[in-house]
Structures are given as structure tokens and as C-alpha cells.
Structure 1
């Protein structure tokens, strides 16, 4: 599988620094900057900690155990490559300006989707993501396809995702996640990848 994420941050350098910090306790194979720069942090053949479902603060033990069980069944970190796209994700509008979860003003284009404001992905970023996903699909024989319920829709059927091979968002694996967000152009990604693979 290839799992798509957003970083909830604003710079490639800051994102790379965070993932390289052992204190973060997370890792990912690739980061794609807003200018289209691709940085590889973990070798493809190595496991990265980007899509697991551990217990969350404040959750009941029952819910935590359910998440751990789902994680054991799907094994997302062992079966996938992770791609983080530099993007702040959801924004708050105050007056005529938009602010990140950290309280800083968000630069660049903003889109409204499903009642929430989001930082738009850039054309350069999407072009690089298409090339990277195409390369990974070809190299690792990953089908250019989405799960039955769609790439960004949470699928409660653990067994479906345990055998799924293809491309999906973090939000399809974990109902506590929103990335890469409803504003991500899944149609453009799949069309571009299939064209590159000669499947269009």
C-alpha cells in the first residue's frame, strides 16, 4: 500500500527535522515539499511508523483495544510506504485571514471543502506526488487503485484493508485522522499515475 498524509506543518526543512528527531516517535518514507521537492527519509524496504493506530489520549480502554486490534489485523506500517505532503491541513478563518493550528497566518491559496477551510496543495507538489507514486507503483508492483469505499473514506472493515493493495489516505485507515483531507485531488492523482503506467 501507499498511504498519503499531510504534515500539519509549513516547511520541508521543519518536517524533515521533526521526522529525523527520535523524540517524535514517528517516521515516514517520503516528504514532498510545496515546491515539489522530494526527500526520502526511510528506505522503501524498511518499516516506517506513519500509519499505526495506537490508543489516543482520553480514550477508553475498550476503544484503545479496538484500535490496537485493528492495527494488528491491517498492519499498516509493515505493509505500506508513507508519503507526507507539506500542508497545514484545516485552517481557522478570522476576519479575512486564515490561521494554522499553531496560530500562524497561513500563506498561499486556501480552499473551502465540506465546511472547513484548508491550505491548498500546490501544482508543483501534486506533479511530484504523481511522479513519486507512479515510480513506487512500478517498482513495487502496487496496483494503481483505491479501496472499495474510496481513498479518503474510513473503512471499518479490517479484513478488507488487511488484504488491500493500492493507494489510500491515512483517513481510510483511521477514523481519527483527516489527512490528506477532502481537498486533495484524488482523481488527478489516479489519472496521472495510470497515464504514467500506460493504463489510461
Structure 2
């Protein structure tokens, strides 16, 4: 049997293996006395180039420490020594399959996982009916030179569909934030070596890993997959959501405002940051659904619109991958087309009125400026998404502005409040009024965003209120 792929598939294990979402690899048992008390529950001992007597001693010590802590030990490579030591799990590389006696492992009730890097290796691994398969490197790794390039998150998702109930382990270049991405993409466990062992403070880094992966360990109701509400979306579950307290009545559009889409996804999927959205639209137009629409995503923050103070409960949030004002370039056409199709679908299903398609800056004018004055609201309106009228040109001349007071200011404040903004009618053109006018301009009169209520701004506001 050793040295070749079985002529027919081996029988799968009777029960599906359950792995902790944080999979730590250590190169000596001494690490376990430091890190197991911090909540580590899954450990691989990877010891290389040591005399057999030392290997046996390391394995036995790791076995005892893990048993004492209630942690699962996986022995790398040395499957015969693992059997001798009474261990119940080993990890095998592709080269190890030529020598490993798989039936012997099964006879001794020893589970095994197998490393894979491409489709051929995956098919070979699955023919052995493993208890898990590992895919790597998902990101570039510092541990060793690899003949395989980074596999990426999309491949994780494809492979999870291929392996079904077989647990999938992501390995290579992971950090706590990337671990959340890997788990959301379909991995059952995220494996780490250097990010912990080479950290300046391995204990603190371990705690970060345990905390970041906690929802996948302790709150399956927040991390399980779901059927997308929008047929064009790929599901990418974020744990950051809760129950809705209000019916959906608004659609809020955001930009991510971060240099990379991946960095934004890390933020939206990290339980430490407590931020999320229902949908994420990538630059190439791909749509991910992070949170079911029936749940309350955490995208709006402290916000208000037309009397509603819990906009998270009352809205659906769409994050559009774009660096925002750190690089204010046009949104790609494919991305905008996806935003239009998605928004139209949401508004039709949820019966959201055009005037309730809002910018993040509309509901939080003092805090937010996204999706920005370079977002093509007119294009969306032409496609049937949102509430727009053509503004008259911005004009020179008298305008209401900071520190002015009187009946004209009061009337402007009243109009903005009637439109939906949170603004008190004080009769004084204060910072709140300027921020609110700028938010209105950023959405409805993008040619000049200066917080001054010129004739063009006032005219457009009046006409929009009349619709």
C-alpha cells in the first residue's frame, strides 16, 4: 500500500473531524508551557533534524502537555513515533504519503491531515480519505521557500466546495486579521507559525489569535454560511452582526477609504474591530455578502435620518472598495454597474423609496464624507437608484455661511431637517449647519462642496423637497 495512491478511495472516517479555528505550529515542546494556558486548543509539533531519542522525548512531552490542557496535538511527519507514543493525530506532507502506512494509522485510531498545494495534490490527498486537508500558502510565507505561489482567498472558497465536509486548513502568511478572512472564505482552521513564534511578544500575539478566532470557536450562529439574499453575491460571512430592531427602510452606500480591498475586508470581518456591512463590492464588480439582510450589520455608527437614530437596524449597508479621499479617482465602471444592479435589487425587494438611498455622509455629516463627491450619484439615478435632480450651476455672489444669523439661516436649517438631516433650527450658521450643507452638496450638488449655502444649493434643496 505504501508508496502509491490507492487504486480505489479509502473509506472515509466514521465521524467528521472538528478542528479549532486557531491552529498553532511549534518547533519544540517548550513553547507549549507558555502558550497552552492562553487558550490554544490545536497544536502541531513540527520538529526537524533531531536524533530519534530526542524526537521521542519531544513528542511525549508535547503529548502530556496537550492532554493536560485539553488541547489536540498533531505530530508532523513522524507517524510511527506518534503511534508508539499513543498520539492520535499526525500531519503528512505529499512526500510522506509515499512511506506512510495509512491502514496502520486507521488501525491505531490515528487521524491524519495532508498538505496540498494544487489540484493534483488535492485529488491525491482526497483519495486517502484524510481527516483534513491543508491548502497553502494562501499568502506569501516567510517560513521557507515554496515552489507554489500564493493561493489566495478565492481558491480557499473553491476548494471548500470541492472537499465538502472534510475540514480545510489555511496555511501560509496568516495574521490574526488574515485568519478571519480565511475562515470567512471557507477554511475551517487557520494555521500559523512565524506570526507567533517570531513575534516580539509571542504570548500577546497568541492572545490576539485566540480573540480574533473566537466567533468561529464559540458563536457558530454568527459565522455559519447562509444563502445570499442577492443572487449575484458570493457569501463571505462576517461575525459582526446582531438582531434587527427595526424594519429595513434605507440603503446606505459607503466607500471603504482604505488603500486595499483586502485590508478593508480584514476590518469588516475582524471581531476585534466590530465593523461590518451587508455587502462588499470589489473594484472588478464582484459582490460579496458578509451579513444576511435579516441581521443588523454594524456599518452606520452614530447616525440619524428623518427621526431614526438606529440606522444600523433600519438600513442595509453596502461598502464599495475604494481608497476614498486618500486617492480620489473615479470608481471603475464595472464596480458602479454592480453597485447599480445590487442597489436596484435591494430597493425592489425591500421597497426602499428613492429618497432613502443615502450616503454615509448624509446620516453622519460631522463624522463621515463617504462615498464622496466623486461618487457618480447621477449615474445611479439615471439607472433608477436614488433621488436626484439636476442642480443649477454653482454661482458666485451672496451665500449663507459660517457665523451668519437670522431668518434665512433658520429657514435653511428647517429645510435641511425636513429633508432628513439632524439639524436644530437655531438661526445661527454654526459648524453643524456647515457640515450638513457640505453633506448635502457632496451627494446632490457635487460641483462645489464648501459648506456654504449658495443660491444653487438652496434652489436644489427646495426643488428636492417639493418632489
1:168 matches 2:358: yes
Q: Distance in 2 between matches of 1:74 and 1:141?
A: 20
Cα deviation, residue 73, structure 1: 4.1
Partner SS state of residue 193, structure 1: coil
Instruction: Check conservation: 2:261, 2:322, Cα contact below 8 A.
Output: no
2:334 corresponds to which residue? 124
Q: Deviations over 1:120-174 (max 9, x none)?
A: 211011000000001101111112x23xxxxxxxxxxxxxxxxxxx200000011
1:177 matches 2:426: no
Q: Distance in 1 between matches of 2:286 and 2:348?
A: 20
Aligned length: 134
Indicate which of 60, 76, 82 corresponds to 2:311. Answer: 76
2:383 corresponds to which residue? 192
Q: Which structure would you say has the larger RCO, counting Cα contacts within 8 Å and 6 or more residues apart?
A: 1
1:5 matches 2:260: no
Q: Distance in 2 between matches of 1:73 and 1:192?
A: 27
2:35 corresponds to which residue? none
Instruction: Check conservation: 1:29, 1:42, Cα contact below 8 A.
Output: yes
Q: Larger % of helix: which?
A: 2
Q: Which runs of 5+ in 1 are unaligned?
A: 54-66, 92-99, 101-117, 147-165, 195-200
Please report the TM-score for the alignment, with normalisation by the length of structure 1: 0.62
Q: Of the two, which has the highest radius of gyration?
A: 2
2:274 corresponds to which residue? 25
Partner SS state of residue 311, structure 2: coil
Q: Distance in 2 between matches of 1:136 and 1:22?
A: 26
Instruction: Check conservation: 1:170, 1:179, Cα contact below 8 A.
Output: yes
2:90 corresponds to which residue? none
Partner SS state of residue 335, structure 2: helix
Q: Distance in 2 between matches of 1:85 and 1:32?
A: 5
Q: Which runs of 5+ in 2 are unaligned?
A: 1-249, 386-467
Alignment of 1:85-124 (within 5 A): 85-91=320-326, 118-124=328-334
1:141 matches 2:351: yes
Instruction: Check conservation: 2:260, 2:323, Cα contact below 8 A.
Output: no
Q: Distance in 1 between matches of 2:263 and 2:315?
A: 24
Q: Distance in 1 between matches of 2:384 and 2:282?
A: 19
The structure-2 alpha-carbon separation of the partners of 1:24 and 1:172, relative to structure 1 and needing over 3 Å to count, comes to same
